[in-house]
Chain A
Amino acid sequence: MATEDKKPETDTKPPVVPSASASQSKSAPAKPNYSLKFTLAGHTKAVSSVKFSPSGEWLASSSADKLIKIWGAYDGKFEKTISGHKLGISDVAWSSDSNLLVSASDDKTLKIWDVNSGKCLKTLKGHSNYVFCCNFNPQSNLIVSGSFDESVRIWDVKTGKCLKTLPAHSDPVSAVHFNRDGSLIVSSSYDGLCRIWDTASGQCLKTLIGKSSYLSVNLKKSKSHVQHLNSCIQKAKLLWIYFLCLKTYTGHKNEKYCIFANFSVTGGKWIVSGSEDNMVYIWNLQTKEIVQKLQGHTDVVISTACHPTENIIASAALENDKTIKLWKSDC
């Protein structure tokens, strides 16, 4: 859907009303009560990314130890290890049907894995530097990847061929994401820009300029327009609706690493992010207040993930910790 030019304008008002009524009727919880349920140990080096499968059944984690591990999302039970990359893995992502995984590695390749067999189906070669981030589109026929070579590439899942290279940024690309219907790609970079691309043509539609480098971008798939969350190195997370900077979430510590930020919508509406003070921060989406801090990790919490249906948060920490923790809440 390329209605991006029109939609945001028409839709700005309605969003306020339903969510307000929803919060009234459900009397939205003021605070979540996340508590540690499981600690998953197994990676031998820093964990770089954790992701729940869209089916809600699995949790995948990637690590600097070149491995991908699959865990049970509800019980934290170790399921399998997937190996094949020659260097550490920076990011991992699920396809919509939860059957495929794509991983981005420092060996300049991406690999598409069959989750059931654990076999590598395709190796996507083309980047000239570390591949840093990757994602499937909702149809799961395309993969987008961002790299330290400052480009964003779009890949054909079926053939493993690079269909398009976007000369996206002038610094390493820190995060890439598709919007809900796959018509747009959002990329963020150390160069302080966040760009929105038309998937079909590869044209840049918009450039967002922040105060500092964007290190993470996460699109919450709502409406037909983009809502995405940028975590910024200056201790602030910015929520944008298309090109309007809507909200800024502050309080945590984020100076060095590209820390993932997430929407949590299963219970209350939260923003979840790791922090360099070894804690997981949870903000109220609407009021921007910090509603909870999760303590337990012993190193920088670099990645967090929210379960698609349950009030579960997964968090992963770096070198000194190497563990993944599952948190649960009633709301």
Chain B
Amino acid sequence: MYRGDKDLQTSARKMGTSLLFQLSAYERELDLVFLDHSYAKPWNAHPDASSARPTRTLFVTPRRQAETLSDSESLIDVETVTPTPIPLYDNQKALSVMKECERHVLFARTAADGPPPPDDWEEHINKTGWSVTQNKLFNKVVKALQAERLARLANENASNEPILRRIAVDKCARKVRHALASVNWETKLTQWLHTTMIESLSLSMLAAYLDVLQTLKSKLPTLIDRMLLPSAKTGAPSAEALSLLLKRPWDPAVGVLSQNKPCKLPGSPLILIAPSFPTNPALSTSRRMRFWQSQLSCLGKVIPVHTHVNSGANIGITQCLEHMLGTVRAKVMEVHSHFPHKPIILVGWNAGALIACHVSLMEYLTAVVCLGFPLLTVNGPRGDVDDPLLDMKTPVLFVVGQNALQCTTDGMEEFREKLRADNSLVVVGGADDNLRINSAKMKSEGLTQTMVDRCVQDEIADFLSGVLTRAEGHSHGSGEMRDLDTEKKKRPRRELPFEMERGRPSSPALRVSISPSGSEKSSLITATQLLKTHMQRSGTVLTHKQAQAQFAAFMKQNMLVRKNLPPGTPCIFVPVTSDQIEGLDRDDLRPHGKRRQTPSPTPSKASKRAKIKVTIVSQSESAGGAINPAEVGVSGKPLTVAVGQTVPGAKELSGLLTSPRSGSLSEVSGALSPGSSSFSSGQPCMVSVSSTPAQVQAPATAQAPSASSLLQGLSFSLQEIVTKAPNLPSPATSTGSTQAVCGKSQDPVLSSVGPSGGTLLRTVPVVTAGGVSKTTAIHQLLTNGGLAKLASSLPGLAHITNQTAGMCRTAKTRRPR
């Protein structure tokens, strides 16, 4: 017996990815069998078997054999005491959060109130002048508080006291809410009640009352705020402390959950949450949904989909559903077009689960997660021969409650049998349609809803990681996709789309396009990050449409520019004419600065010939003025490029480039190389921007004629640049180096090449190396021209060449688009 238990625990640990996984591990007999007999195939391994995988259960109490009635002759043990089970959460922490309200009960009272009311406070209340409703309300609330007091006393020192207390407080809060609802939350009455309670309740009862307020506040923030208004006005410091205390309800499982976050899923999937009803933007999402969102965001990027249906609009359910379906579908397509390589997972609750399933029939999704699947309909259970859901191909996970009304476990099994898609089922013991467990279950198992939710999330992660790794393995085996996929893995995930100015005359009018409101086809090159921010925020530099248009253009050109810079540093490439540079240094930064952050002053002394202007705008709030925007002017003329930098900009740039993150450098070059390889003249070209000015300068000037010819029609792409200001070494030596590189030779080229290369778009890879050896390697490259050499002499850069090759292929395959 005992050995078995221990085995079970160790195996659970082996299987378990987290502590919470173990919580429910006791019922995982299937896994146990699998561990002991790992050679055995699961029952559904047979090709003829359905694609349904064995059901998993969470907190389902196993059915035990009926008791054999003990006869009167049997011995009775009257001594042994069953050891109390160890709670699944940190009891110490739970107890301390549990007693929070008791500890801070005095916050509710201002000092002026005098001595606290005695224990027999009820007899001291002056009820004269109270109306009938007031009396009723007061009595109801006091009765509820008294019941809570009884439960509190009865549960004292119980092994799972925090959970029992939580249940009791929730129950009491429910009663108080009923009482307040019976007077329609009339502001006058609720405020009167609050004042009376604060004044008259004894300390112990007041603590219970605060617990109730704390609980209700999370559910009905506006109503409770209104109720607390008078007291908030009077006592300043205590009211503040009180509002802090009431900020969020305590949870016995607080420590466990914060310590055991779900792990990131492979392939950095995007998790879309389908709405299960039209949402009203005015209403905040429930606390539980927020918790779910935050936990899921540990698995991957979460993108909630909202459907806003005007309440005034008189539309039927069918229309509404169609609208929701359309919204989700559109979102999936949009996200897919933005992140073509990322797996997309659709998660939905109840009706949202159905929507998710239906969307999976229309759009390509990696997986669908159905939380609380409404299997039963008015016309009987789903899964009839003509049910479109049976045609699903997407792997799907169903999580249903054992006691759900809209779904039975047996019915699910039958449905799953008919389902062609790979599917799994998780049954949550004692849970309803929304996967909420009842209080009896909480009591007997020592659980809280958050713990259950967390376990369900573990199950989801388990399922998804299986699907994702399988998906990856699959694409590895299948020919053409292979390169792309390996590519994807080697490279950092985010891609920097960039677009070049095409055939646009260099004119002062271009300045218009620099401004965020510029209506011309955008001449701004933004980073993915920027696109992303656009999706979420409005009012940034680009409008959504502009960003999309850019992205489309970018796709057409097959220019994939990679970067591995931390998020939050978009960089904007602003083409300007050379004569405008100086003015732009200040003028153009301003609009961006206003929107994002104040750029530090940019002296333009050194930028005599600066022509490429790169504005690096940091989004990190903390950065403040610590990051200097580097500016490189890009000439508006398509075929002319001059590189110039303002002093701080150069500093910044070189600092970034020389920073120890060699990865970022290689990325830059790798990302840019496709452009060079598809270059019509066939000459690979690299311009090195180095931290050691002398070395770069020399080759650059030496190569000036060829380099400049290669630079025709060049749009200079730089990456989003590392925001981390403190990390940035800023060697002053590099100042002006880049300027020197091209400055001298550019101008003549501009005019000469201009007409001929008008349609060509070129990318010049920017390779920067921090070390001297690398610089010389680049030197070599520049003089001899050839990536192979670079690769051989610089093992660290070897994979860049590979990447380049990969990129070229990408470019080819993508070209038809």
Which A residues have a C-beta under 8 Å from some C-beta of B? 1-3, 5-12, 14-16, 18-20, 22-23, 137, 139, 141-142, 154, 156, 158-161, 163-164, 180-183, 199-202, 220-224, 227, 239, 241, 244, 246-248, 263, 265, 269, 285-286, 288
Contact = CB atoms under 8 A, between A and B. Distances in A.
Nearest to B64: A9
16 contacts: A1-B159, A10-B64, A12-B68, A18-B79, A19-B76, A139-B156, A141-B153, A156-B153, A159-B119, A200-B164, A202-B147, A223-B81, A227-B78, A246-B72, A246-B76, A285-B78
B5 interface: no
Given A6-B444, A158-B204, A161-B120, A200 B154 contact: yes
Nearest to A154: B150
Contact of A199 (B77, B82, B154, B160): B154
B80 A18 contact: yes
Contacts of A181: 158
A3 B155 contact: no
B76 A139 contact: no
B190 to A, nearest CB: 25
Given A159-B119, A244-B70, A265 B79 contact: yes
Contacts of B75: 15-16, 19-20, 23, 286
A286 B151 CA distance: 36
Given A222-B81, A223-B80, A288-B72, 12 more contacts: A19-B77, A22-B79, A141-B153, A156-B149, A183-B154, A200-B150, A222-B80, A224-B82, A246-B74, A247-B76, A263-B78, A265-B78
Given A200-B168, A223-B82, A244-B70, A159 B120 contact: yes
A141 B204 CA distance: 13
Interface string B440-475: 100110000000000000000000000000000000
Q: Residue among B72, B78, B82, B149 with the most chain A CB within 10 A?
A: B78
B77 A164 contact: no
A266 B149 CA distance: 36
Top-7 shortest CB links A-B = A15-B77, A199-B154, A159-B119, A200-B151, A163-B150, A200-B154, A19-B77
B616 to A, nearest CB: 62
A202 B171 CA distance: 13
Nearest to B65: A9
B146 interface: yes
B157 interface: yes
Contacts of A285: 76, 78
Interface in B125-154: 146-147, 149-151, 153-154
Interface residues of B, number: 40
Contacts of A19: 75-80
A137 B156 CA distance: 10
B119 A222 contact: no
B76 A141 contact: no
B67 interface: yes
A202 B78 CA distance: 26
B202 interface: yes
B86 interface: no
Contact of B67 (A12, A18, A200): A12
Contacts of B153: 137, 139, 141-142, 156, 163
B120 to A, nearest CB: 7
Interface string B161-174: 00010001000000
Interface of B: 61, 64, 67-70, 72, 74-82, 84, 119-120, 122, 146-147, 149-151, 153-160, 164, 168, 202, 204, 440, 443-444
A28 B287 CA distance: 60
A274 B168 CA distance: 41
Contacts of A161: 119-120, 122, 146
Nearest to B119: A159
Contact of A202 (B119, B150, B159, B440): B150
Contacts of B76: 15-16, 19, 227, 239, 241, 246-247, 285-286
Contacts of B204: 158-159
B147 A2 contact: no
Given A2-B444, A16-B75, A246 B80 contact: no
A22 B78 CA distance: 12
Nearest to A202: B150
Nearest to B156: A139
Nearest to B69: A244
Contacts of A3: 444
Contacts of B79: 18-19, 22, 222, 265, 269
Nearest to A1: B158
A217 to B, nearest CB: 15
A141 B156 contact: yes
Contacts of A288: 72
A40 to B, nearest CB: 28
Contacts of A202: 147, 150
Q: Residue among B80, B120, B440 with the most chain A CB within 10 A?
A: B80
B27 to A, nearest CB: 14
B80 A139 contact: no
B621 to A, nearest CB: 48
Contacts of A244: 69-70
Q: Residue among B64, B77, B81, B164 with the most chain A CB within 10 A?
A: B77
Contacts of A160: 119-120
Nearest to B118: A159
Contacts of B78: 19, 220, 222, 227, 263, 265, 269, 285
Contacts of B80: 14-15, 18-19, 222-223
Nearest to A248: B72
B154 A182 contact: yes
A179 to B, nearest CB: 11
A163 B146 contact: yes
Q: Residue among B61, B79, B81, B157 with the most chain A CB within 10 A?
A: B79
A142 B146 CA distance: 13
Contacts of A139: 153, 156-157
A9 B157 contact: no
Nearest to A142: B153
Contact of B82 (A5, A7, A23): A7
A199 B158 CA distance: 12
Contacts of B149: 156, 163
Contacts of B77: 14-16, 18-19, 222-223
Contacts of A220: 78
A164 B150 contact: yes
